[in-house]
Copies of this chain bind each other. A is one copy, B any other.
Amino acid sequence: MNLLLLHPEDFIAPGQARIHDRRLRHLHDILRPQVGASLRAGLLNGNLGTATLTRLDTEAAEFSVRLAEAPPTPAPVALILALPRPKVLRRTLRAATLLGVKEIHLLQSWRVDKSYWQTPLLTPRHLREECLLALELARDTRLPKIFVHRLFRPFIEDELETIAGNRCRLIAHPGAHHSVGEAHNPPAILALGPEGGFIPYEVERFLQHGFVPISLGERILSVEVALAAALGALREHQHRARGFSAPPDFPND
């Protein structure tokens, strides 16, 4: 927990918050701050700043809170993910949230085992909890929005065009010749297949909607690694497109 993420209902007065739950246990078990200590804090979907501990006992912790900084800029990339198996879904949501993704579409595809849709992780409460933990690690406040699409064809035929909108449309595809930067102008929407990949029919449907196949290298990647590598490449590309500016403190060797 690199950030004490406060929720609107934690506030007992303007600038004063009280917490009870998992976060209180974390204070007692791990951080062990003294009264007067300052923690990095943020308001869910709001600003960042500091929380100064004013009370800590087994019942509750109270803070005097000042939140004046904007949270990190969202990554300009939405994701369409063939639903991974539950263990991988957890890691993938975490990686996406750490990297600042704010819109995730989970999708049925041919190679997604139907049983994956039964995982309790897909309930709104669990999805939210996973993303909250990742926000606390990343020091971000904005919850990703997660959309669930249990049927491939209605998604592609009725929803994809509206969802993708004006964004640059990318699909990670083993065999593609293009790197992210050749195709990409942010904001983008990136489709990632399941273990074993989208089947040719599915890839074809994405291509019909103007998705450009991009390669992440010659190797087969796990979905969470593919996701992070793609986001890293997109970030690099975006940074270059904006042009470099050497800040005065650039260390010379």
What residues make up the interface of A, taking CB atoms closer than 8 Å to B? Answer: 2, 72-73, 75, 91, 94-95, 98-100, 137-140, 177-182, 207, 210, 212-213, 216-222, 224-225, 227-237, 239-240, 244, 246-247, 249-251, 253
Docked-complex contact A216 and B229, CB < 8 angstroms: no
Q: B222, A98: Cβ atoms under 8 Å?
A: yes
Q: List chain B residues, Cβ under 8 A from A181.
A: 236, 239-240
21 A-B contact pairs sorted by A residue (CB < 8 Å) = A72-B217, A94-B222, A94-B225, A98-B220, A99-B217, A99-B221, A99-B229, A100-B219, A177-B249, A177-B250, A179-B239, A179-B244, A180-B236, A181-B240, A182-B244, A225-B228, A227-B228, A228-B228, A229-B232, A234-B236, A236-B237
Which 10 residue pairs of A and B lie closest in terms of their CB atoms, listed nearest first?
Answer: A229-B232, A232-B232, A228-B228, A233-B236, A72-B218, A138-B219, A210-B253, A232-B233, A179-B239, A177-B247
